[in-house]
Amino acid sequence: MLVWHHCSVPFCSNNKQKVPYMSFHSFPNDKGLRARWVRAIRRDEGTAFRVLYGSTYVCSHHFCPEEIYTCPSGRKRLKKDAVPSRFSWNNWGRRFIVILFRFFFFI
Ligand SMILES: [Zn+2]
């Protein structure tokens, strides 16, 4: 069975099929850093959510551009200690909310 890379961040529906140009990053091996990722995406590792190597990814949408670099091979890689930080529920999504707000109050 072919499994598409998909993003495990809540409210994010990016997957490799939809956005093939986007890079998907697997969770770090380092336990401490991995825990920070899980906390950042507001998930808890348990029965409902498990970090599985090879199938649990976070898309590049949630990282600052300076945390991502391109390898000589053209593959996108994350810098050491990079943690996803851009989500729909924090400032990063505020611009969209402002647009929605304007839409409702100025029409
Ligand atoms: Zn995503």
Mean pLDDT of 10-23: 90
| Cα of 73 from ligand 1 centre, angstroms | 23
| Cα of 7 from ligand 1 centre, angstroms | 5
* pTM (predicted TM-score): 0.77
| Cα of 104 from ligand 1 centre, angstroms | 27
With 0-12 / 13-18 / 19 or more C-beta atoms within 10 angstroms meaning exposed / middle / buried, residue 76 is middle
For the chain, the structural domain boundaries read 24-105
Write the pLDDT tens digit of every residue in 40-76.
Answer: 999 988 887 888 877 789 999 999 999 999 999 988 9
Closest CA to 87 of 56, 63, 71: 63
